[in-house]
């Protein structure tokens, strides 16, 4: 592979145990066994993911709150210390620079976690706008390892290896914890639809013997999680679980030409905020007056697996195209996310997807695609 590709601290372990591919400028594992097995481990037991390729910016200073409110669309002032929320960062036209997680770790300290593909762009964007504010921006992506623990048994595993009861940490929080002697932040978020958390390792990447702490930590998770059926999971399961959950992925459902209102993630956007963030007027217009396109979910009726860029027809007219698609291991059929013209179709309408020249029927549905009483963080069973 090209020497230009970046590698996480766990690269050697991934390369030894899994299939490594180029992804967003990194060499990352797509799978270790079968993607379906890894997917089902997350839905039924627990899976762990190396998410270190994402960028982690630590932002601090007297103007940190007002600076972050200028750049992000959720209400930063509502974040208490150790709280977090999902947000977006927009351009002047209301298109999306990136979606992100923002955590407040002190009165004037925050962590911004952003997508790997957009890290350099966002860092430059921050630096450009920081000139007028008393803030400090640190890119600690290379030193702070990040590992996601996801699934219905995730909290059981985390409780086993921490000195406190992690159940007391609600969703969308970020708390300092000690895990087997490692200084960490435990962020109660995730990208799979399941419960769990993302662990930020704050210690030096190397121990006194020169061994990478990330490798020791990763292997500890696998050993301690064996009783819960833990599996290491790659990009394949990360994408298939987020698709089943109906979550957007930058470069597919979000880009510089798509607003969060079009993407139907209104929980990331607030309007009673000061100062008005970049792109405010456009997204407010989308909210009040309507959008040029809107995101929908599709579940296959006919056989076939929808992929990105497939045309969608309704009453013999093209109304849009798919942005993400694949096989749902839970449903055993193809599912997709798509953008279509607004007010054309509704839930339960049947559309036609052109899958490589073959017309295949699909039903318009809402996400998540799985039964949320049986799967996901709100499961009842």
pLDDT tens, residue by residue, 264-281: 999 999 999 999 999 999
Within 10 A of 177 (CB to CB), how many other CB atoms are there?
18
Give the torsion sign (CA, 368, 373, 378, 381). Answer: negative
pLDDT tens, residue by residue, 114-135: 999 999 999 999 999 999 999 9
Highest mean pLDDT among 203-207, 287-291, 377-381: 287-291
Measured distance CA(28)–CA(265) in Å, rounded = 28
Angle at 240 between CA 41 and CA 141, to 5 degrees: 90
Q: Which residues contact 193 (CB under 8 A, 6 or more apart)?
A: 241, 242, 244, 245, 246, 247, 368, 370, 375, 376, 377
Measured distance CA(340)–CA(290) in Å, rounded = 13
Give the per-residue pLDDT at 95: 98
For residue 282, what is the DSSP state? H
Rounded to the nearest 10 degrees, the angle between the axes of helix 235-245 and helix 35-44 is 50
pLDDT tens, residue by residue, 142-167: 999 999 999 999 999 999 999 899 99
Q: Where are the domains of the chain?
A: 11-52+143-242, 293-375+377-381
Rounded to the nearest 10 degrees, the angle between the axes of helix 64-71 and helix 119-130 is 120
124: nearest Cα among 87, 91, 86: 91
φ, ψ for residue 224, nearest 5 deg: -70, -25
Measured distance CA(217)–CA(223) in Å, rounded = 10
Predicted TM-score of the model (pTM)? 0.96
Mean pLDDT calculated for residue range 235-256 = 98
Give the per-residue pLDDT at 209: 65
Cα distances (angstroms) measured from residue 276 to each of 90, 108, 283, 338, 378: 12, 20, 11, 30, 33
Within 10 A of 167 (CB to CB), how many other CB atoms are there?
11
Give the fold, CATH level 3, of 293-375+377-381: Elongation Factor Tu (Ef-tu); domain 3 (2.40.30)
The residues facing 350 across adjacent strands are 363
At 185, which helix (H) or strand (E)? strand 182-187
Whole-angstrom Cα Rg for the chain: 21
Q: Which residues contact 374 (CB under 8 A, 6 or more apart)?
A: 380, 381
The residues facing 232 across adjacent strands are 48
342: nearest Cα among 293, 300, 270: 293
Within 10 A of 274 (CB to CB), how many other CB atoms are there?
10
Q: Which residue has the tokens 């007002």?
A: 66
- Whether the per-residue pLDDT at 1 is higher than 60: the answer is no
Tokens representing 47? 């899976």
Peptide bond before 275: cis, by omega within 30 degrees of 0?
yes
Cα distances (angstroms) measured from residue 356 to each of 272, 318, 326, 361: 46, 15, 14, 13
- Whether the per-residue pLDDT at 296 is higher than 60: the answer is yes
CATH of 11-52+143-242, one of 3.55.40.20, 3.30.10.20, 3.10.450.30, 3.30.1360.120: 3.30.1360.120
- Whether the per-residue pLDDT at 173 is higher than 80: the answer is yes
Measured distance CA(216)–CA(198) in Å, rounded = 17
For residue 298, what is the DSSP state? E
3-state secondary structure of 147: strand
Q: How confident is the model at residue 2 (pLDDT cuts 50, 70, 90)?
A: very low
Q: How confident is the model at residue 4 (pLDDT cuts 50, 70, 90)?
A: confident
Q: How confident is the model at residue 190 (pLDDT cuts 50, 70, 90)?
A: confident
């Amino acid at each position: 592979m090209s020497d230009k590709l970046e590698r996480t601290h766990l690269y050697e372990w991934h390369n030894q145990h899994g299939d490594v591919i180029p992804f967003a400028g990194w060499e990352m594992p797509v799978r270790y066994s079968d993607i379906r097995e890894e997917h089902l481990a997350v839905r039924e037991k627990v899976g762990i993911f190396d998410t270190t390729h994402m960028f982690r910016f630590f932002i601090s200073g007297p103007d940190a709150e007002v600076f972050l409110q200028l750049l992000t669309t959720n209400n930063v002032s509502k974040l208490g210390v150790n709280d977090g929320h999902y947000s977006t960062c927009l351009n002047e036209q209301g298109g999306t620079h990136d979606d992100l997680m923002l955590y407040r770790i002190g009165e004037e300290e925050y962590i911004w976690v952003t997508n790997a593909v957009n890290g350099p762009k966002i860092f430059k964007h921050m630096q450009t706008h920081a000139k007028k504010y008393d803030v400090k921006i640190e890119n600690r992506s290379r030193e702070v390892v990040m590992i996601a623990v996801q699934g219905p048994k995730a909290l059981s595993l985390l409780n086993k290896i921490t000195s406190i009861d992690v159940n007391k940490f609600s969703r969308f929080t970020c708390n300092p914890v000690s895990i087997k002697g490692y200084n960490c932040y435990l962020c109660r978020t995730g990208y799979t639809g399941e419960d769990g958390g993302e662990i930020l390792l704050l210690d030096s990447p190397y121990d006194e013997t020169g061994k990478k702490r990330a490798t020791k930590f990763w292997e500890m998770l696998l050993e301690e999680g064996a009783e819960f059926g833990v599996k290491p999971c790659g990009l394949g399961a990360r994408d298939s679980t987020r698709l089943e959950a109906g979550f957007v992925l930058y470069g597919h459902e979000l880009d510089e030409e798509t607003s969060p209102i079009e993407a139907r993630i209104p929980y990331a956007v607030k309007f009673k905020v000061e100062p008005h963030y970049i792109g405010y007027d456009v997204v407010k217009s989308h909210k009040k007056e309507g959008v040029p396109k809107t995101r929908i979910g599709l579940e296959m009726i006919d056989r076939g697996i929808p992929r990105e860029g497939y045309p969608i027809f309704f009453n013999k007219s093209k109304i849009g195209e798919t942005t993400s698609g694949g096989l749902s291991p839970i449903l055993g059929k193809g599912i997709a996310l798509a953008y279509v013209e607004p007010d054309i179709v509704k839930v339960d309408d049947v559309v036609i997807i052109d899958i490589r020249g073959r017309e295949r029927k699909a039903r318009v549905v809402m996400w998540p695609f799985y039964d949320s009483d049986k799967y996901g963080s709100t499961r009842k069973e």
